[in-house]
Amino acid sequence: MTDFVALENIYKDYGGVKALNDVTLEVSEGEILLLIGPNGSGKTTLLKILACIEKPDAGNLFINGEKIEDKNRDRAKLGTTLVFQRTALFSTSVHNNISYGLKIRKTPKRQIAKAVKKALKVVKLEGYEHRSAKKLSGGEQQRVSLARALALNTPLLLLDEPTVNLDPESVSIIQDAIKQINREKGITILMATHNIFQAGQTAKRVALLIEGRIVEERAFDTTLSKSSNIAKFARLGNIFSGSSEILSEGISRVKLNQGLVIIATPQRSGNVTIFIRPEDIILSKNRFKSSARNIFEGKITEISDQGPIVKLKVDVGVEFVTQITKKSFLEMSLNIGTQIFLTFKASSVQMI
């Protein structure tokens, strides 16, 4: 396979904040590459540059062997499609939403009808052509958004958190659609996500982006068996970026980008990325006295039954992944929306 996408020493700043910092990355033609990293790590910015929506401040971008510059940027943009995390559909029919990009490209009506029908079949929304897109469920709307991208049939497809906050059925359908169009058409796909387990069913290679830098790349089938930052990200999930200051007590106070403050024993100042193992977090329905420095109240947003273990997502201002035994889960009568306390020690906070 040859490189279809190549980024060389890409930099991008927003108001003095480095969104991308010396990013070099190569993606083979027909490859599905998974791009993971915490919020604010630069994933969306990287996708926008690849989609030719944003220009890098420095560095070079090559698509299909061609260096992207001002003179050919608009033409290159026609060969890429970016599906954003937040679905933006027009207040019209599903058919009109999917056909919009094709009409702009002055595609013949008969070809448009064929492309729309095929795209709807891939995302399992056959017969939805005349329905109002805005009245569909969130999962169905995201599938329409993906169908709109698939109808354009561009050689480069970019997906920004395509399955976040969707129902399990829509997640499965979107994953299958991604694999199908990659297999049948050889489309090169870059997908940004937090859920490495989920995306591991589609991608064969993964790159970890931290604070605007790609800190590690490797084949997915070796990722979880290695002692690496990617393995930690995959296993733990609770990875956050923020600003740290060392306190007089010999500990650090980390203010996350989302505003939450976490106390940690590692002593480091400046921008940091932290992670907390799910098994180090204690769950309780009531606040209790503890020597632990970190106690947060939130509500359960997702439950995943994994046999003897139940994994929970809890929103406390940021979303934590936690786990408890099935026995404890049943005894506590937990459910979606249950108010819960998370407690963990400063020594449980690790820094990448």
Domain boundary among 174, 201, 233: 233
Same domain, 180 and 292: no
**pLDDT the model gives residue 227:** 47
Tell me the pTM.
0.68
Per-residue model confidence as pLDDT tens digits over 180-194? 999 999 999 999 986
**pLDDT the model gives residue 226:** 46
**pLDDT the model gives residue 198:** 53
Per-residue model confidence as pLDDT tens digits over 146-165? 999 999 999 999 999 888 76
Dist. CA 8–CA 123, nearest whole Å? 35
Per-residue model confidence as pLDDT tens digits over 201-259? 677 788 989 889 998 888 765 554 444 676 666 655 687 888 999 998 889 999 997 88
**Residue range(s) defining the domain that contains residue 182:** 3-233
Same domain, 80 and 148: yes
**pLDDT the model gives residue 195:** 62
Same domain, 221 and 273: no
Contact 309, 283 (CB under 8 A): no
Per-residue model confidence as pLDDT tens digits over 101-134? 999 999 999 999 999 999 999 999 999 999 999 9
CATH number at residue 320: 2.40.50.100
- HSE-up (13 A, CA, CB side) for residue 83: 29
Same domain, 185 and 303: no
Q: What's the token pair of residue 138?
A: 């969130």
Q: 288 pLDDT band (50/70/90 cuts)?
A: confident
Same domain, 302 and 247: yes
Domain boundary among 180, 199, 233: 233
The mean pLDDT value of the chain amounts to 88
Same domain, 292 and 221: no
Q: 94 pLDDT band (50/70/90 cuts)?
A: very high
Domain boundary among 233, 259, 279: 233
Same domain, 222 and 297: no
CATH number at residue 222: 3.40.50.300
Identify which of 90, 136, 102, 140 has the alpha carbon closest to the alpha carbon of residue 120.
140
In sequence order, the β-bridge partners of residue 173 are none
**pLDDT the model gives residue 307:** 78
Mean per-residue pLDDT, 297-321? 90
Please report, for residues 85, 122, 157, 244, the alpha-carbon distance to residue 154 in angstroms, rounded to integers and kept in the order given: 19, 16, 7, 43
Same domain, 90 and 180: yes
Mean per-residue pLDDT, 168-181? 87
